[in-house]
Amino acid sequence: MSELSVFKVLGFMTGTSLDGIDMAVLQTDGEQRLIFGPWAERPMPHEVRAVLQATVTAALNWPRGAPEPEIFNDARKVITDYHFTSAQAFLAEQGMSFADFDLLGVHGQTVLHERPKAGVSGRTVQLFDGQSFADMTGVRVVSDFRIADVAAGGEGAPLAPVYHRALMAQADLDLPVVVANLGGVANITVIDEGGDISAMDTGPANGLMDQWVQKHGRGHYDAGGVWAALGTVDPARVTAYLSHPYFSAHAPKSLDRYDFTLAGVEGLGFEDGLATLCEFTLESLLMGIRLSGCAPKAVILAGGGRQNAYLVNRLRAEFNSQTQLYLSEDLGWRGGAIEAEAFAYMAVRSLRSLPISFPTTTGVSQALTGGRLNIPSAR
């Protein structure tokens, strides 16, 4: 394969947890070639988080057909500038510059995600100004990865499965395998014996637990699951959460971080609420794996939830000897970088018009490319 077909890309991810930005350097052809460069996680400044939290509130109250809330434009500028200053600092630390890159792949900030249902098309909003970023950096930018899929009737999520498959092609594991990404929402990628992929969002992951911690003024999240481990699970409340019709719906399917609320644990003590929400995450994840019809030989945990030792230990206890549980780092993957790498990888696939979503991952009618290319304006 010619080196000319390999692109050097800087990928970016900011998740719905609003905890920070992930950046990762990847050289790839958008298929099997993966060469990993530096990566970094940087916390989100309070002032950026405050704007985005207000924007999420506006998005959740935005009627269909109404003009876009004015705060969206403010948030686009804030999140784009945040990407720029974060990348400048990261690249300076690495002795690199934007001129070293062929392409930038940016997910943008999700403030709203509504799945299609009952003949009503979905809505998904990832705020970012790709053209402004291209002009600021002098590098081509691919963003708006989900829009084409939703316009074609797909769920718009999850998108990372195509990258999970590329990672698994380099791993020495027997198939089938499940890759579970535990972000604000949990999603799974199933890679079957033939290497085909299917996917779905399984339920909340860190989102509700983080909200509970923040509601009680105890910081932004339960580090290591220490507080959850001190609590007692309320099984009736977990059962009530799991009675939601989403869990019996056919896959592929997707969620917004705010599709579930804290109402189901109101009245519980702090630790008991966390333990109950953690059990909800665990049970919905296991339910999703069962719904997939897969009996995996391995389950690999990625995303921030892999750092919740209490959740990981509870999961480990649920699998029998036929299923091995791994953290992403056990396979040499950079657990904090996977989603940023995924959007770097998908940026190249977009540039090459290769598909990033599939009938078995988002429910779209046929394999579809996505992403919008922004070319720097002449200076």
Select from 12, 82, 81 the least CA-distant residue to 44: 82
- Indicate the annotated binding residues: 15-22
- Indicate the annotated binding residues for ATP: 15-22
Scan for tokens 């062929």, then name that residue.
Answer: 102
